Each structure stands twice: as C-alpha cells, then as structure tokens.
Structure 1
C-alpha cells in the first residue's frame, strides 16, 4: 500500500502553490493533517488560513494549527515567480 494517496499528493501541490514551500514539507503537513510544519518554516498566519480554507473547500481536508505552534506574522505576498518561492513583503499597512 502506498504511503500517501493521490488526493494527498494533489492537496500537497495546492499547498505548495499557495505557500511556495517545498513539496515534501507540504506533503508532510497534509499527511499529518497539521499546519505545524508550515508554521515552523515561518509561513504567515493569513497564508495558513488560506491553505486551511482551500484544502477544506477542494478536498474536505481539515488541517489544524496546534496550540504550541507559532505562525509567522500576518503578511501579504506576491504570487510565486516561475519556479520560485512566494515573495513575502512584511505586514500589510
């Protein structure tokens, strides 16, 4: 039996598209049903909220942020450049 199924793979790609984080980090977050791996990498809270909403809408998956995990500051981001990571530009005014 495979370690992860195709729904998890598609969900991880969606998380990667939203956050710009490496695929393996995104897959680990989806498999653990937790936003903690992304929060540990400093992904801003509003981006984690977007991930949470998109995964629930698209795949019915609910990822929680454990109480001990501290997300990064609320920030806006520009879309990822081709093959690159999302650019975070600090807090919104």
Structure 2
C-alpha cells in the first residue's frame, strides 16, 4: 500500500487510532507532522486535506480540533526585531 504523500509517517492517521489521546499529545504530533511535510507543500492545503479525510468521522477528536486551530494561524508570521528593535531613539 502506498503511503499518503501528505502524511508519509502516518502521524495524523495514527493519532486518530490512539485511545484516550489528549490535546497536548495531538499538538505535539501535529508539529512533527507539519515539519515533515514535503518541501514547497502549502501547509494550509495539507491541513485542509487532513480535515477532509478525518474530521467527518471524528468530529470530537482532539486532533480534529488541533487541525482546525492550525487553519486559524496566520499565513505568514511577521518578523519582529532586527535593527529597528535595537535602535535607540
């Protein structure tokens, strides 16, 4: 069986199989999954794909909520600091 290119390590799949998993563990798994996405993969698109596969069958699962929370994150974090933050007025 061919592995899902968006979940090559099957981290999201396995999170739904773990009985009693909590939000903290799901956030940790989500971070590992997000860091292992293929180079150039749009993270938002990947999250939407995972929700499409699992959310309907597991609406109350903590991973479903973590994935939804991932969609609410800003697209691109703004850089803070740099020389402007260190410059004295």
TM score, norm. by length of structure 2: 0.37
Q: TM-score, normalised by structure 1?
A: 0.36
Higher strand share: 1
Larger Rg: 2
* Larger relative helix fraction: 2
RCO higher in 1 or 2 (8 Å CA, sep ≥ 6)? 2
